[in-house]
Amino acid sequence: GQQLNQSPQSMFIQEGEDVSMNCTSSSIFNTWLWYKQEPGEGPVLLIALYKAGELTSNGRLTAQFGITRKDSFLNISASIPSDVGIYFCAGPQGGSEKLVFGKGTKLTVNP
């Protein structure tokens, strides 16, 4: 099946720094989704991308849908302690509604 390769696995940064993480696949995706999961909670949708080349922002978060449709990145600017969590990329498998997830990027922000 389709797989998503997410990197980096973890990041340790200082408050105020910018963060960048990405997701790649050997297969084409028509949708890219970015979720954040905090301890004790389910994943929360941050940004949804539906068009190749699309660049979408949500506050300090910006995500882009790669032109090749095989990658996406998520940037967080001026990180704050509440950005701590695990960030997952996801996309629908083979045109279905079923999602495949990346392995996640665990973000730690030091005050």
Partner 1 sequence: SAVISQKPSRDICQRGTSLTIQCQVDSQVTMMFWYRQQPGQSLTLIATANQGSEATYESGFVIDKFPISRPNLTFSTLTVSNMSPEDSSIYLCSVGGQGSNQPQHFGDGTRLSIL
Residues that bind partner 1 in the complex, under the rule CB under 8 A: 1, 31, 33, 35, 40-45, 48, 50, 88, 90, 92, 97-104
Which long-range CB contacts under 8 A does 100-103 form with residues at least 24 apart? 100/1, 100/2, 100/3, 100/4, 101/4, 102/4, 102/5, 102/6, 102/23, 103/4, 103/5, 103/6, 103/9
Of residues 16 and 94, the one with the C-beta less far from partner 1: 94
User: What dihedral angle (degrees, nearest 10) is formed by the CA atoms of 48, 53, 58, 61?
Assistant: 110
CB of 41 to partner 1, least distance (A): 5
CB of 58 to partner 1, least distance (A): 13
CB of 79 to partner 1, least distance (A): 22
Of residues 14 and 98, the one with the C-beta less far from partner 1: 98
Structure tokens at 50: 């539906």
Of residues 35 and 73, the one with the C-beta less far from partner 1: 35
Of residues 79 and 105, the one with the C-beta less far from partner 1: 105
CB of 65 to partner 1, least distance (A): 13
SS3 call for 108: strand
